[in-house]
Amino acid sequence: MTMQQACEQPTLGLKPITSVDDLNKMRDEWKAKLEKPAEIRVVVGMATCGISAGAVQVFEAFKSELKEHGLDHILLEKVGCIGMCVYEPIVDVFETGKEKVSYIHVNPEKVKQIVEQHLMGGKVCEELTLLQLDKKDDRGEICKRFEDLPFYRKQKRIVLHNCGYINPEDIREYIGVEGYQALAKVLTTMTPEETIELISASKLRGRGGAGFPTGMKWKFAARETADQKYVICNADEGDPGAFMDRSVLEGDPHAVLEALAIAGYAIGASQGWIYVRAEYPTAVKRLKLAISEAKALGLLGEKIFGTDFNFDIHIRLGAGAFVCGEETALIASIEGKRGMPRNKPPFPATKGLWGKPSIINNVETLANIPTIIRNGAEWFRTIGTEGSPGTKVFALGGKITNTGLVEVPMGTTLREVIEDIGGGCPGGKKFKAVQTGGPSGGCLTYEALDVPIDFDQLVALGSMMGSGGMIVMDEDNCMVDIARFFLDFTVDESCGQCVPCREGTKRMLETLDKITSGGAKEKDLQDLYDLAQNIKLTSLCALGQTAPNPVLSTMEHFMDEYRAHVIDKTCPSKVCKDLLGYYITEQCRGCTKCSRVCPAKAITGKVKEQHYIDQSLCIHCGACFSTCPFHAIERR
């Protein structure tokens, strides 16, 4: 299986769309095909997570099975991610007049059974559906469909609406779900000013980090006069643990293209750029395909819908630098340079790409635009909170039962997300904290669980929305170690330009190393705090300004853990191995396994007698611990 196989070139040969009528005709045709397929429609979830779990083999198996049985009439399609990573590969079967059937953990053998029993025999393979999990919803009823699961019931899908439903490699299916209607609407019935007014009225805020009002950003760029302006899509999602942008690009790429064109019209730009991580090969391929399809249909290019509006989109690949998610670094990178941020002001809206007025919106922000244009600002404001309308997609990960992508209205509480949707920590472990906002954010504890989450609330709690990574930690995670992990990340990803970030984060990391290895003194805690404040206060860009957040917020909520490391020289969660001792208990049967795996030859003992670890020789590698068949070794 390879990522390359996941995409195919289209052979469309369609007539260009030159009017809204053309668009509507195609929409009506494909709407019908999607909603009431004449024949059975089988879709395989083929975003990266699905592919990783084996979706390509599943797709190929369907192809050959269908061919073998002469089932040419059955429509086999790939779709994007539906968000339930743990159940991949997932296959949905649509049949007019019947309920959708979802198969989980599908593999080529199961494909054979599904084709023969369900598609040919008309009998659903119930043991391959959700039923195999024997899950009950909150009313105690067995969940048959994804939609029954608590995981889905609390969600509201605007951004991810089309993901997992339409084939991202066929523009006609996007048109069938009202695609490009918003662009048609602004180009043929609205002025650029009205477009910006509508977005401003919706109070949409940027989903990429700090939540800056999108309409205001557009307005700043629109009022500049220049021979060229640019709209840029920031698809350099780099937060470790966040992958909503990838999911949108893989599952609904045209939504982003349509939004870019709308933004271009609004600010007076004829050029769009998408800066996308090269680590997302599937997303890149689908974007390229989408652009070529849109160009072929005349939805990008010159005189779109017969108006005077021209718009073209280019793709630039990132090459592995987290800082390029920062808008000015991203601009430098598009310009082919080292991704080093520039001081703001001037903001990109006045001086951006190649010195021209530019706006940068992230993928999730853009994915909201077409829906807002179609449904109106008021509709959007009915969702979410007053200050932060709409939904937010979170990538739920870490110590949580249901990992995956969830989209909830702003104002949903953390408890609903973590407990109801996420199913809590697995293995009955105790929830300790949740980290939001990735390396720029902070951690929230039990006390914050009932706070409705939106941009402002998270900031008030000392964290931030960031791009929407939400990593759950349980009692087994050491918060000092987690802070160290994030610092290690920022040290590695600092561009190296400004002093506080380049030098300061390194010194913070060194202090954290001292703390987790037992070499720190009490004064180090105060120094660490002061240094963190200085970096926050004086760094050039948002990466540096937010880099200390994981440390500051863990220091605020888990000072006891820091003090345990520094004063008692212990790691309460038993993670920091320099602070752990391994001891052999009376459970030892003297099997000698531990002494054989010990690389430091620290374990002695006679056969069938209790063994002993020489603490002065022990290097805390834990090899004995994981080898012992009798659980006779404990860490303390």
Contact residue for another protein among 504, 516, 547, 594 (CB under 8 A): 504
| DSSP-derived 3-state class of residue 584 | strand
Instruction: Name the residue nearer to another protein (CB basis): 1 or 71.
Output: 1
Residue 89: cis peptide before it, omega within 30 degrees of 0: yes
Closest CB to another protein among residues 334, 632: 334
15 counts as binding another protein under rule CB under 8 A: no
Question: Residue 397 interacts with another protein (CB under 8 A)?
Answer: yes
Beta sheet of 41-45, edge-to-edge order: 75-79, 41-45, 91-94, 101-103
Q: Rounded to whole angstroms, how far apart are CA atoms 610 and 589?
A: 6
State which of positions 271-300 bind another protein (CB under 8 A).
278-280
* Contacts of another protein in 533-592 (CB under 8 A): 534, 536-540, 545
150 and 421 Cβ atoms separated by less than 8 Å: yes
> Which lies closer to another protein via its Cβ, residue 196 or residue 479?
479
Q: List the x/- string, 219-248, binding to another protein by CB under 8 A.
A: -------------------xxxxxx--x--
Q: Which residue in 38, 133, 460, 499 binds another protein (CB under 8 A)?
A: 499
Using the minimum distance from each CB to another protein, give the nearer residue, 488 or 556.
488
Q: Is 89 in the site for another protein (CB under 8 A)?
A: no
- Nearest approach, Cβ of residue 588 and another protein (Å): 21
Residue 477 binds another protein (CB under 8 A): yes
Given the complex with another protein, which of 173 and 239 has the nearer CB atom? 239
Among 186, 274, 334, 367, binds another protein (CB under 8 A): 334
- 262 contacts: CB under 8 Å, gap ≥ 6: 182, 183, 186, 195, 369, 370, 373
Residue 482 CB, nearest approach to another protein (Å): 7
Location of structure tokens 């302006």 = 229
Please list the residues that pair with 235 across neighbouring strands: 276
Residue 88 lies near another protein (rule: CB under 8 A): yes
Q: Measured from the CB atom, is 267 or 542 closer to another protein?
A: 542
* Residue among 26, 34, 76, 85 that touches another protein (CB under 8 A): 85
For another protein, the binding residue among 17, 395, 547, 584 (CB under 8 A) is 395
Shortest Cβ 56–another protein spacing (Å): 10
Stretch that binds another protein, among 7-15, 382-390, 453-461, 506-514 (CB under 8 A): 506-514
Is there binding between residue 111 and another protein (CB under 8 A)? no
Which contacts qualify for 494-498: CB closer than 8 Å, 24 or more apart? 494/323, 494/543, 494/544, 494/547, 495/321, 495/323, 495/329, 495/338, 495/339, 495/340, 495/341, 495/541, 495/543, 496/340, 497/340, 497/341, 497/540, 498/539, 498/540, 498/541, 498/544
Nearer to another protein, 176 or 550 (CB): 550
Tell me the C-alpha distance between 72 and 371, whole Å. Answer: 35
CA distances from 77 to 56, 83, 214, 383 (A): 12, 17, 35, 32
Contacts of 61 (CB under 8 A, 6+ apart): 108, 111, 112
Q: How far is the CB of 6 from another protein (least distance, A)?
A: 10
- Binding of another protein by 340 (CB under 8 A): yes
Residue 330 to residue 234: CA distance in whole angstroms: 8
Question: Rule CB under 8 A: which of 120-139 touch another protein?
Answer: none
Q: Which of 13, 70, 140, 345 binds another protein (CB under 8 A)?
A: 345
Residue 515 C-beta: closest distance to another protein, Å: 14
Q: How far apart are the C-alpha atoms of 573 and 575, rounded to whole Å?
A: 6
CB of 443 to another protein, least distance (A): 11
- Tell me which residue has tokens 């609330």: 457
The piece of 121-129, 198-206, 217-225, 469-477 that touches another protein (CB under 8 A) is 469-477
CB atoms within 10 A of CB 634: 15
Whether 56 contacts 91, CB under 8 Å: no
Instruction: Give CA–CA dist 153/371, Å, rounded.
Output: 21
Give which of 235, 624, 150, 75 is closest to 408, Cα–Cα.
150
Between residues 119 and 594, which has the closer beta carbon with respect to another protein? 594
Residue type, 577: K
Written as one letter, the residue type at 597 is: V
In this structure, are residues 505 and 550 in contact, taking their beta carbons and an 8 Å threshold? Answer: no
Distance from C-alpha of 72 to C-alpha of 63, rounded to nearest angstrom: 9
Q: Does 500 bind another protein (CB under 8 A)?
A: yes
Asked if residue 429 binds another protein (CB under 8 A), the reply is no
Closer residue to another protein (CB): 333 or 385: 333
Q: How far is the CB of 238 from another protein (least distance, A)?
A: 6
Distances (CA, A) of 284 to 84, 209, 322, 538: 22, 22, 18, 36
Please say which residue, 17 or 56, places its beta carbon nearer to another protein.
Answer: 56
- Binding span for another protein by CB under 8 A among 393-401, 413-421, 552-560, 587-595: 393-401
Q: If you ran DSSP here, which 8-state letter would residue 142 be given? A: B
Residues of span 304-323 touching another protein by CB under 8 A: 316-322
The span from the CA of 584 to the CA of 614, in Å, is 10
Nearest approach, Cβ of residue 206 and another protein (Å): 16
Question: Site for another protein (CB under 8 A): which residue of 371, 412, 497, 553?
Answer: 497
Q: Which of residues 512-531 bind another protein (CB under 8 A)?
A: 527, 530-531
Residue among 18, 24, 52, 107 that touches another protein (CB under 8 A): 52
**Is omega for the bond preceding 572 within 30 degrees of 0, making it cis?**
no
In this structure, the strands spanning 442-445 and 404-409 are unpaired
| Rounded CA separation 544/537 (Å) | 9
Size of the site for another protein (CB under 8 A): 85
Applying CB under 8 A, among 23, 48, 79, 412 the residue interacting with another protein is 48
Q: Minimum distance from CB of 212 to another protein (Å)?
A: 12
Does residue 506 touch another protein according to CB under 8 A? yes
| Contacting residue, 158, 235, 473, 602, with another protein by CB under 8 A | 473
